[in-house]
């Protein structure tokens, strides 16, 4: 993935999840329809292991409500997630934020093994188009505008979210804002003990 095609932090992935109950032929037809009718040419395309599609584009300053917008658009047999790039220690306004959620997607030309119906198989993420020679990636705003979709939040709401994350604020029953105390923080940590983690790529 050529990250020089976007400004630092502006890489964005639109994840098209196609109904897994459909036949391979129906899935292929829907995926091709997405490519032909919903996306511009200057976008990086990767076919996912289960027949969906990842479209790499330029967030270009579009203020998403979250850097993980899951099922933010739902169509017939398609659920669309939008993942914004975010670094763990990204600087904002000259101050370093701590412990931001990172998004990870399986990169192009990757593979992993999965057991299904007692059968082990290798699944692959295949590059669909040649984006090695692109000079820029299409912007998320242009793509969403072409769908008549607007999920952008006002800049003030974005700043409030940054402040909440940066300073760990909580709103009390009285409506005042307090920092999380050590007892609550420890209870949150203790609640994760013995938690079973399933590490499947998304």
Tens-place pLDDT, residues 141-167: 999 999 999 998 887 777 776 666 555
Cα distance between residue 78 and residue 15, in whole Å: 10
**Would the pLDDT of 8 be above 70?**
no
Residue 96, in any domain of the structure: yes
Report the pLDDT value the prediction gives residue 174, as an integer from 0 to 100: 62
Cα distance between residue 24 and residue 189, in whole Å: 43
What tokens appear for 74 in the block?
A: 């739902």
Considering its fold, how many domains does the chain have in total?
1
**pTM for the model:** 0.69
Angle at 56 between CA 83 and CA 108, to 5 degrees: 100
Residue 64, in any domain of the structure: yes
Residue 202, in any domain of the structure: no
Averaged over 21-42, what is the pLDDT?
Answer: 96
Domain assignment of residue 71, given as a range:
3-152
Helix, strand, coil percentages for the chain (3-state, nearest 5):
25, 30, 50
Residue 191, in any domain of the structure: no
What tokens appear for 84 in the block?
A: 């914004």
Q: Which has more pLDDT, 172 or 130?
A: 130
Residue 126, in any domain of the structure: yes
Residue 109, in any domain of the structure: yes
Report the pLDDT value the prediction gives residue 184, as an integer from 0 to 100: 66
Task: Work out the pLDDT band at 92, boundaries 50, 70, 90.
Answer: very low
Taking alpha carbons only, the member of 46, 51, 69, 77 closest to residue 144 is 69
Residue 164, in any domain of the structure: no
CA distances from 62 to 113, 138, 164 (A): 35, 12, 20
Strand partners, 17: 79
H or E segment to which residue 12 belongs? strand 11-18
Domain at 15, CATH number:
3.30.2250
Task: Work out the pLDDT band at 120, boundaries 50, 70, 90.
Answer: confident
Asked if residues 30 and 48 have their Cβ atoms less than 8 Å apart, the reply is no
**Would the pLDDT of 134 be above 50?**
yes
């Amino acid at each position: 993935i050529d990250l020089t095609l976007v400004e630092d932090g502006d890489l964005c992935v639109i994840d098209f999840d196609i109904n897994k109950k459909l036949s391979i032929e129906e899935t292929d037809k829907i995926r091709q329809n997405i490519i032909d009718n919903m996306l511009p040419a200057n976008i990086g395309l990767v076919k996912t292991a289960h027949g969906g599609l990842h479209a790499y584009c330029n967030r270009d300053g579009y203020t998403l409500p979250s850097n993980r917008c899951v099922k933010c658009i739902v169509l017939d047999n398609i659920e669309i997630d939008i993942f914004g790039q975010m670094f763990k220690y990204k600087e904002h306004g000259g101050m370093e934020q701590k412990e931001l959620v990172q998004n990870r997607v399986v990169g192009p030309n990757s593979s992993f093994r999965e057991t299904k119906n007692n059968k082990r198989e290798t699944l692959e993420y295949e590059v669909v188009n040649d984006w090695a020679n692109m000079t820029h990636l299409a912007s998320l705003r242009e793509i969403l505008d072409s769908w008549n979709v607007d999920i952008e939040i006002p800049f003030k709401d974005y700043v409030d979210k940054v402040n909440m994350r940066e300073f760990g604020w909580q709103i009390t029953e009285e409506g005042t804002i307090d920092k999380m105390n050590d007892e609550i923080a420890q209870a949150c940590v203790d609640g994760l003990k013995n938690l079973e983690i399933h590490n499947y790529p998304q």
